[in-house]
Amino acid sequence: MDSRPTPIARDLVLVGGGHSHITVLKRFGMKPVPGAQLTLVCRDVHTPYSGMLPGLIAGHYSFDEAHIDLRKLAMFSSARFIHDEVVGLDPDRRELQFSNRPPIRYDLLSLNIGSTPGTGEVPGAGEFAVPVKPISEFLPRWSALLGRVESLDRPPRIAVVGAGAGGVELALSVQRRISDRFASLERSGAPEIHLFGASPTIMPTHSRGARARFRRILAERGVAVHLGSPVSAVVQGGLHTDGGPPARFDEIVWVTNASAAGWLAESGVAVSREGFVLVDETLRSVSHSEVFAAGDIAAVDAHPREKAGVFAVRQGRPLEENLRRSLWGRPLRPFRPQRRFLSLVSTGDRYAVASRGIWSAEGRWAWKWKDWIDRRFMAKYQDLPAMSRPKEFSPEAAIPGVRDIPERDIRCRGCASKVDAVTLAGALGSIRPFWRDDVPAGLATRDDAAILNVPDGKELVQSVDFFPAIVDDPYLFGQIAANHALGDIFAMGAVPQSALAVAGIPFAAADKSEDLLRQMLLGANETFRGVRASLAGGHTSECPELALGFVVNGLADHGTGLSKGGLRQGDALVLTKGLGTGVLFAAEMRLAVKGRWINAAIDSMLQSSQKAAEILRAHGASGCTDITGFGLAGHLVEMLEASSTEAEVDLEALPRLAGASHCLEAGVRSSLYPDNRKVWDRVANGASAPGHTAFPLLFDPQTAGGLLAGIPHGRVADCLSALHAAGYVRAARIGTVRRRRSGSLLSIRNGGIT
């Protein structure tokens, strides 16, 4: 068998991290489909489990206990993760449009995006109410609500609109949380909770016995219930009901039936009257065979059901099976949801009501039962098994599309490994490089080589970088790789002029190769355009994995560029970004990192150092470098040796990316760490390594790291203020440059800089 991974023949794109899709991801991770590229698109990195939301609101669960880390689950499933919001769908082109990135295409699409607030039909509800749907957006709103009610000088009046099971459960949870919070603040009084429902009864889909239990519990807890009172308008500080007087409230929480995203109906995919995707018993769209949907966003025509998390969970396995069958070209199987299901509804205080059919019961045992079920469910997606290595390429074991890719028994090298001309032309068709007069020939003119003009009085500054993909989103990777390559140009005080790309593309079907290349170059071009540099051309090659690099060129006035050898005695060492990308991404490969930490690291890698370089120069920077693969210590030692100085670094002052310290303390290290660590033995003059937890951070390799510069002592405060104001919030003074003596080239302090 060939040692290559199986080439990609079909793209399966999952939009949304709902309860059905987490099942699909887990099961595809346990049993991949050779030849299928899985992509998860979600606007959230952590998805809340709806069953634990009331407990989270009541204060019984922490954030991580009640959320599934989608980035971690995607990594386990070998799925690309695209962190963005879908705003449009073109089913004819099989294309998704986004808020902040170019479109992507799919062969098979599955939608599990939940629902949006059903506030559009009630004037003022969208402006003045706090909607529960989508759940992922409710939590920051809930935190803001808590802050507002805590600032009141009296107990708050809160209205919960919607008297179904969700509204009842939320009203009791809100009451419990605010009561506990007021007690902890030694504030007198209890919140006044009002529950509004349009129907004549609470929880109309539950049994008579369950409804009776909750009527009693609501009365015992002092919750005022207003039934047969549809809300007709919401105003600032209150609401109006049909036939009733206006009522004043400090906060209004909206838990009524939700609606579907508007772009679905605009796409041409068949939808219900309410805008939800119409699917058949196989969960496939009745109008487009390549589109599937599950959970709240789906309307199963043959089996109408209420919008509830239990149905989304139950649809996960049938959806996964039918997506798998569709990839293989096999007949789909119908899914018939259960008519009755166990319902466990909490009352805000570790007490719950259980019901199924006409049976119901209540007690603390029911809460414990619910808690056990919820935690067991979450453990399946939080405690993931170790990832296995990709299997070797075997066309016979892959989906049919792989067998349609022209087989090459021998992989040619040299120029024969290039991406073919048709694929290359397709990828380049959407690239619009920034036009510069001093780059008269290149990609913009489709020439084979670039022509660069160096104006009189200028020097050409040139650097090169190349590495495999650090993230699985090719567009994002293109941005990061370009930003990383520009670091040397900014560190030397130059202005970017142009770049030549070297791109490595894994073997795949021609349209997949074209899309990978296009996405990467679109991302890179966006970064280069942002600094007014021209993407002037490049070269492609087939590689075992996605990779990208650039030769970047910049212009600097003669004799004005910064160098590593410019450090001066007494300079303060200023670092513009946090450290930790190496250990964080090493931890991600071990499924030992939180998705929000990776997101913060990505944000740091995407932050251009152009403005930072300008600020450093404006405040008298002497020497400067960018921190990349050799780590802070490796690059700093290069500066010290070049300038015949030594330095003292304060470990406590090192800025750290979120989660970096946690990963280091857990024993995680980048694969390059051991080699980077050798620099200490070379320059420490026999000094023992400090036991400080931040010490390993000195040797952590960085991607698109910050700038390190020497700044005159008297200008450090102003420099840091300017950096912070420009968005470099982790910029810090980390040490001091000293005159070279016979001791250690690099010495360490554990707190305080002199």
Structure tokens at 543: 């590689």
Residue 501 φ/ψ, nearest 5 degrees: -100, 150
Predicted pLDDT of residue 10: 92
Distance between CA atoms of residues 162 and 165, nearest Å: 9
Predicted pLDDT of residue 524: 95
Distance between CA atoms of residues 104 and 53, nearest Å: 32
Task: Please give the average pLDDT of every successive group of 10 residues along the chain, which has 754 residues.
Answer: 68 94 95 93 92 94 95 94 96 95 96 81 89 84 91 92 93 94 84 93 92 96 93 92 85 86 93 92 96 91 60 86 95 83 90 93 96 95 75 64 58 54 71 84 76 88 92 96 96 93 86 90 95 90 88 89 88 97 95 95 97 96 94 94 93 96 95 93 81 92 96 96 97 94 80 56
Please give the angle made by the CA atoms of 83, 541 and 451, to the nearest 5 degrees.
Answer: 95
Residues 6 or more apart in contact with residue 643 via CB below 8 angstroms: 564, 565, 566, 567, 568, 623, 737
Predicted pLDDT of residue 409: 45
Predicted pLDDT of residue 210: 94
Which candidate in 42, 415, 624, 663 is catalytic? 415
- Closest to 150 in 3D by CA, of 180, 128, 171, 170: 180
Q: What share of the chain is helix, strand, coil (3-state, %, to 5)?
A: 35, 25, 40
Q: Is 543 a residue of the active site?
A: no
**In which residue are the tokens 């009002």 written?**
194
Structure tokens at 74: 């995607």
Distance between CA atoms of residues 417 and 444, nearest Å: 24
Predicted pLDDT of residue 619: 96
* Cis amide bond preceding 134, omega within 30: yes
User: 517, 423 in Cβ contact below 8 A?
Assistant: yes
Distance between CA atoms of residues 71 and 594, nearest Å: 8
- How far, CA to CA in Å, does 427 sit from each of 96, 423, 431? 17, 6, 8
Helix (H, G, I), strand (E, B) or coil at 95: strand
